[in-house]
Amino acid sequence: MNLILFEPAELTTPLPRSNPRAEHILKVLRRQIGDPFDVGLVDGPLGKATLAAVSAETLTLTFTWGPPPPPADPITLLIGLPRPQTARDILRDATTLGVGALHFVATERSDPNYAAATLWTSGEWRRHCLAGAAQAFATRLPVVTHDRSLANALAALPCAANFSASRDTAHTAASTTLTRLALDNYEATSPLSECHLLGDTSIVLALGPERGWGATDRAALRTHGFTLVDLGSRVLRSETAVIAALTLVRAKLGLL
């Protein structure tokens, strides 16, 4: 836990000793009364907290905050709905790498039972995003959806001009080019490593489910302006492909 994150509603109440963050503050960071440590407000600024008091039941903290965080990175991921454990890894690692939006979608070959997993129905998915942000020493969480078909998600994709509107209205004109790429092991026309991406580009990157895209999926992607690309001849696990693709894209956008 490189950064301890707090929701806005938590700032005015003591932190229960039973909360894992309290355990981390006392036993991992070994903070005593009067000691500061790094904190972040979810989707807000970084700051410092000071341990003001410790009781048998709670920790009392005080906070000071820095400036607002930068806008979310201009990268949207579309992921064919995978197995829950794979989705957990993607939620965490994609958040760590700084995507702006993450949409898990039903595709021609995805298992419809995955949508009913407790990961989604219980709200557990958010915990993995928080873990990814804390790992990255960042506060921004991606916009996450998990209840749409690929067709509906493609129809709802933003234009470059309003990519960040849901997060930061002041940034709505920052990106001027929208590039749509889909990873595909079978019908790709070029490798992702050879794609030319400019620093002012917003990226929508689509990855199929563990069984890959079907013919209907590919047709829909092409209709919506996606270019099929690949990561080379080696077949990667979905969670590994997400990390590899995001690393390439971020490097090309100058975000590393």
Based on the fold, state whether residues 37 and 107 are members of the same structural domain: no
Based on the fold, state whether residues 164 and 237 are members of the same structural domain: yes
- Domain span holding position 21: 4-65
Report d(CA 134, CA 93) in Å as an integer: 11
Determine, yes or no, domain membership for 233.
Answer: yes
Based on the fold, state whether residues 61 and 163 are members of the same structural domain: no
pLDDT in the model for residue 165: 34
CATH number where 44 lies:
2.40.240.20
Determine, yes or no, domain membership for 244.
Answer: yes
Report d(CA 47, CA 26) in Å as an integer: 19
**Domain boundary, last residue among 35, 65, 95:** 65
* Backbone dihedral region for residue 27 (phi beyond 0: left; psi -120 to 50: alpha; all else: beta): alpha
CATH number where 191 lies:
3.40.1280.10
Based on the fold, state whether residues 104 and 188 are members of the same structural domain: yes
pLDDT in the model for residue 22: 97
Residues of the chain whose pLDDT is less than 50? 160-175
Determine, yes or no, domain membership for 39.
Answer: yes
Determine, yes or no, domain membership for 70.
Answer: no
Per-residue pLDDT reduced to its tens digit, 94-125:
999 999 999 999 999 999 999 999 999 999 99
**Domain boundary, last residue among 43, 65, 87:** 65
Determine, yes or no, domain membership for 221.
Answer: yes
Based on the fold, state whether residues 182 and 92 are members of the same structural domain: yes
Based on the fold, state whether residues 79 and 60 are members of the same structural domain: no
Based on the fold, state whether residues 133 and 90 are members of the same structural domain: yes
Based on the fold, state whether residues 11 and 138 are members of the same structural domain: no
Quick one: which of 111, 106, 79 has its CA closest to 93?
79
Tokens 């921004």 locate to 140
Based on the fold, state whether residues 231 and 176 are members of the same structural domain: yes
Q: For the chain, how many structural domains are there in total?
A: 2
Based on the fold, state whether residues 86 and 205 are members of the same structural domain: yes
Determine, yes or no, domain membership for 211.
Answer: yes
Per-residue pLDDT reduced to its tens digit, 152-182:
999 998 764 443 333 343 333 344 578 999 9
pLDDT in the model for residue 159: 64
pLDDT in the model for residue 65: 98
AA identity, residue 36: P
Report d(CA 232, CA 58) in Å as an integer: 52
Tell me how crowded residue 208 is: count the other CB atoms within 10 A of its CB: 27
Based on the fold, state whether residues 152 and 177 are members of the same structural domain: yes
Based on the fold, state whether residues 53 and 150 are members of the same structural domain: no
Quick one: which of 140, 145, 200 has its CA closest to 168?
140
In terms of DSSP H, where are the helices of 144-190?
Answer: 150-155
Return the SS3 of 237: coil
